[in-house]
């Protein structure tokens, strides 16, 4: 590691399961103001990873969160709105995003950028481009431009891959403006360790069963001809453990949280039947 990064490197939080090299790389992105995109399946820890790195640097780097997936109107989210007031007349109010990009050293999370409206991607192009770094407020009179302040790190998350037909296919130009890392799929030991970290008082055998079922679905999805289209996420394994803590049995937790997620079409050949049979081996 470069001296500067070694000196400024923040320790990885115990509850975050990500490889050391990826954590180191995220430290580098913050310290160097790089645009970074984290990809991976739903519930694999993309958002929590960025929140953790932002938390680690909050003393030096103010954090701003934009949920791109929920924006109905990209122009008002990324630029602002024109209002009318009897005394003030017509005036323009800058969005939260416009304010954020003017704060030096800010970390700005563009969460679920893969779900953003294509118009949002267009607006972000010049902001993210290392040679441009400006935003044109074309909603305002004379369309002034706002420069992106020094030291800003844009961090984004995206669901990209064949599992995610609901997300739009991201624009190549936009993707090109980010360094990318992929969330890793946790193996059995890692998933079990994660569950134990979050639920230290839970029955170990049950947590291990949850981790085993999740791992089987993960292996299946990565196999040559998978019988299911997505695997059980860490978000789901944590929810299952939470049900156990609240008096549910493993079978009940599976019935509530696993089976309904899988397609029942096809009866005995359906994804749901496959997952039920897989889970029942462990229950």
Ligand X SMILES: Nc1ncnc2c1ncn2[C@@H]1O[C@H](COP(=O)(O)OP(=O)(O)OP(=O)(O)O)[C@@H](O)[C@H]1O
**Contact region with ligand X (CB under 6 A), list: 38-46, 59-67, 82-90, 216-224:** 38-46
Q: How many residues at the interface with Mg ion, by CB under 5 A?
A: 1
40 forms part of the interface with ligand X (CB under 6 A): yes
67 forms part of the interface with Mg ion (CB under 5 A): no
Residue 249 to residues 141, 214, 252, Cα–Cα distance (Å): 62, 17, 5
Binding letters toward ligand X, positions 152-191, x by CB under 6 A:
-----x-x--------------------------------
250 binds, among ligand X, Mg ion, none (CB under 5 to 8 A by kind): none
DSSP string, 70-111: G-S-HHHHHTEEEEEETTTEEEEEE-HHHHHTTSTT-EEEEE
**Contact region with ligand X (CB under 6 A), list: 36-44, 77-85, 214-222, 253-261:** 36-44
17 forms part of the interface with ligand X (CB under 6 A): yes
Rank residues 52 and 94 by Cβ distance to ligand X and give the closer one: 52
122 forms part of the interface with Mg ion (CB under 5 A): no
d(CA 110, CA 155): 6
Rank residues 48 and 213 by Cβ distance to ligand X and give the closer one: 48
100 binds, among ligand X, Mg ion, none (CB under 5 to 8 A by kind): none
231 forms part of the interface with ligand X (CB under 6 A): no
**Contact region with Mg ion (CB under 5 A), list: 21-29, 43-51, 95-103, 222-230:** 43-51
Tokens for 219, please give them: 């292996």
Q: Judge whether 90 and 63 are in contact, CB under 8 Å.
A: no
47 forms part of the interface with ligand X (CB under 6 A): yes
Binding residues among 110-149 for ligand X as defined by CB under 6 A: none
Instruction: Single out the residue of 34, 47, 81, 212 in contact with Mg ion (rule: CB under 5 A).
Output: 47
Q: Which residue is nearest to ligand X (CB)?
A: 45
Provide the binding-site residues for ligand X, judged by CB under 6 A: 15-18, 40, 42-48, 157, 159, 194, 234-235, 238
Provide the binding-site residues for Mg ion, judged by CB under 5 A: 47
């Amino acid at each position: 590691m470069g001296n500067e990064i070694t000196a400024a490197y923040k320790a990885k939080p115990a509850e975050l399961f990500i490889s050391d090299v990826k954590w180191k790389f995220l430290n580098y992105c913050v310290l160097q103001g790089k645009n970074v995109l984290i990809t991976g399946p739903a519930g694999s820890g993309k958002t929590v990873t960025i929140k953790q790195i932002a938390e680690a640097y909050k003393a030096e780097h103010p954090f701003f969160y934009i949920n791109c997936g929920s924006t109905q109107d990209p122009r008002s989210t990324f630029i602002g709105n024109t209002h009318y007031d009897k005394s003030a007349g017509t005036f323009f109010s800058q969005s939260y995003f416009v304010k954020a990009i003017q704060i030096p050293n800010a970390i700005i999370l563009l969460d679920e950028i893969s779900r953003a409206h294509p118009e949002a991607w267009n607006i972000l192009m010049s902001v993210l481009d290392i040679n441009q770094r400006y935003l044109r407020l074309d909603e305002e009179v004379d369309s002034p431009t706002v420069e992106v302040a020094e030291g800003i790190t844009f961090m984004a998350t995206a669901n990209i891959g064949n599992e995610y037909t609901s997300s739009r296919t991201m624009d190549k130009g936009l993707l090109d403006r980010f360094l990318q890392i992929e969330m890793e799929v946790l193996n059995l030991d890692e998933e079990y360790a994660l569950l134990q970290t979050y639920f230290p008082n839970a029955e170990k055998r049950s947590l291990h069963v949850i981790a085993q079922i999740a791992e089987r679905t993960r292996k299946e999805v990565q196999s040559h001809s998978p019988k299911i289209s997505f695997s059980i996420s860490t978000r789901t394994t944590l929810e299952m453990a939470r049900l156990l803590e609240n008096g549910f049995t493993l079978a009940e937790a599976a019935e509530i949280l696993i089976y309904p997620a899988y397609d029942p079409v096809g009866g005995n050949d359906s994804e749901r039947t496959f997952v039920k049979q897989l889970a029942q081996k462990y229950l």
